């Protein structure tokens, strides 16, 4: 998702077809999403699951984005959020069974 946003921002900027503001935001969010994705991958590798604070932040971002712009790319955040919640709940169930 981050790579797509970065490319879209650069294309919008390069074509000079539109206002440069969307280009900036697409590129900035793309770079931010790539960084966040790498950080989440590292947390998942270290712990075996995505932690609750990361999932909560992703849920808040998705909710804010969907309220602000219902027909947007924020819908795409729901899929990784769902997989993260499923993995987190499975991990909690396994941890409870072990104790």
Domain shared by 42 and 67, yes or no: no
Domain shared by 25 and 58, yes or no: no
Domain shared by 4 and 25, yes or no: yes
pTM: 0.69
More confident: 43 or 5: 43
Residue 96's domain spans which residues? 49-99
More confident: 87 or 23: 87
Answer whether 9's CB lies under 8 Å from 30's CB: yes
Angstrom distance (rounded) from CA 10 to CA 26: 8
Count up the domains in the chain and report the number: 2
> pLDDT tens across 39-80, in order?
999 998 998 889 999 999 999 988 998 998 888 778 888 998
Domain shared by 7 and 30, yes or no: yes
More confident: 58 or 27: 58
Domain shared by 53 and 65, yes or no: yes
Domain shared by 54 and 99, yes or no: yes
Domain shared by 40 and 53, yes or no: no
- What average pLDDT does range 16-32 have in this prediction? 74
User: For residue 54, which of 83, 16, 23 has the smallest C-alpha distance?
Assistant: 83
């Amino acid at each position: 998702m981050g790579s797509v946003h970065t490319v879209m921002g650069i294309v919008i900027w390069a074509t000079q077809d539109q206002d440069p503001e969307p280009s900036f935001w697409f590129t900035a969010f793309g770079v931010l999403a790539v960084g966040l994705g790498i950080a989440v991958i590292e947390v998942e590798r270290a712990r075996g699951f995505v932690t609750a604070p990361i999932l909560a932040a992703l849920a808040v971002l998705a909710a804010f984005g969907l309220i602000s712009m219902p027909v947007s790319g924020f819908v795409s955040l729901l899929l990784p959020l769902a997989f993260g919640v499923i993995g987190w709940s499975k991990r909690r169930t396994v941890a409870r069974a072990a104790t």
